[in-house]
Amino acid sequence: MNTLTVKGDWNVAKGKLKQKWAQLTEDDLQYLEGKQDELVGRIQKRTGETKDAVESAIRKACDCP
């Protein structure tokens, strides 16, 4: 997956991601359009999860395909 498309209410998605990984901070979850790789990288670094696992969790939290 090259581009992660985040749709819907990002605040709801952030809450779901924080429930999954409590160690994430607001700074970790700052989403800026065009900076998807940075967001995934921050979550990977903080949680130790794989890129695929992080992208899957974000898609699930955002109800994205």
Half-sphere exposure of 11 (CA within 13 A, CB side): 0
The two structure tokens encoding residue 63: 């109800």
Within a domain: 1: no
Residues 6+ apart with CB under 8 A from 12: 61
User: pTM value?
Assistant: 0.76
Within a domain: 5: no
Give the span between the Cα atoms of 25 and 2, in whole angstroms. Answer: 24
Where does residue 33 fall: left (phi above 0), alpha (psi -120 to 50 degrees), or beta otherwise? beta
pLDDT tens digits for range 25-57: 988 888 776 788 899 999 999 999 999 999 999
Q: Judge whether 17 and 43 are in contact, CB under 8 Å.
A: yes
- Domain hosting 20: range is 10-62
Within a domain: 32: yes
Q: What is the pLDDT of residue 6?
A: 67
